[in-house]
Amino acid sequence: QVQLVESGGGLVQAGDSLRLSCAASGRTFSSNTMGWFRQVPGKEREFVACISSGGGNTFYLDSVKGRFTISRDDAKNTVYLQMNSLKPEDTAVYYCAADPVGWRTGRATSLYDYWGQGTQVTVSS
């Protein structure tokens, strides 16, 4: 069982940066692939980025490549999402998720067994 708690969201202007954090409980954090997703009202939850167990592989949504960076600190049981050059279209609730199959770097929500409660990111123009 993994419990996830996101933090770091807020209201910023276009072009600003934010760093989201996701703190995980449980001894199995390092063996999980960790992902970030986002959702706006009326739309499906969207994959943003993921990082494999050990951090060797990362994948990003095309629209965030070069602006967002996912990283993990297994000693702190924490995964981060550094978001730079934010745009109004990045506005969403951002969710952290864990996939126990640590070699897998999937983008489908169905692959992730554990989810945080979400943190709101609002980017004004």
In this predicted model, what pLDDT tens digit does every residue of 45-96 receive, in sequence order? 999 999 999 888 999 999 999 999 999 999 999 999 999 999 999 999 999 9
What's the 3-state SS for 11-43?
EEECCCCEEEEEEECCCCHHHCEEEEEEECCCC
pLDDT band at 102 (very low <50, low <70, confident <90, very high): confident
pLDDT band at 4 (very low <50, low <70, confident <90, very high): very high
Mean pLDDT of 100-109: 89
pLDDT band at 111 (very low <50, low <70, confident <90, very high): very high
Tokens for 93, please give them: 């609730």
